[in-house]
Amino acid sequence: MKTDIHPKYYENAKASCACGNKWTTSSTISEIHTGICAKCHPFYTGQEKILDTMGRVERFKKRLERSATKAKRAK
């Protein structure tokens, strides 16, 4: 087997988020910068917005019908 092929492993890597939250973890990178973490992610903070997918689908179908009828009238 080849020797020295694995990257250096940092037991106390420093991780930080855009919101200012900082923590330590283990990684092959000494410093990690993330855009979002569990402290600021909407799913974990309870500020999650549930999308009304049924309403979106219905609106899309209405627009599709209107464009189809306009195309028929144009012919």
19 has binding-site annotation: yes
Quick check: is 58 in a domain? yes
70 has binding-site annotation: no
40 has binding-site annotation: yes
Stated pTM of the model: 0.53
Quick check: is 45 in a domain? yes
Percentage of residues of the chain with pLDDT beyond 90:
44
What's 44's domain CATH number? 4.10.80.400
Quick check: is 33 in a domain? yes
Range of the domain at 62: 10-74
Tell me how far apart the alpha carbons of residues 28 and 22 are, in angstroms, rounded to a whole number. Answer: 17
pLDDT in tens, 15-38: 999 999 999 999 999 999 999 998
Domain count, the chain: 1
Q: Tokens 């019908």 label which residue? A: 65
Quick one: pLDDT at residue 45?
A: 81
Quick check: is 1 in a domain? no
Quick check: is 31 in a domain? yes
With 70 as the cut, is the pLDDT of residue 75 above it?
no
DSSP 19: T
17 has binding-site annotation: yes
Quick check: is 29 in a domain? yes
Beta-strand pair 10-17/22-27:
antiparallel
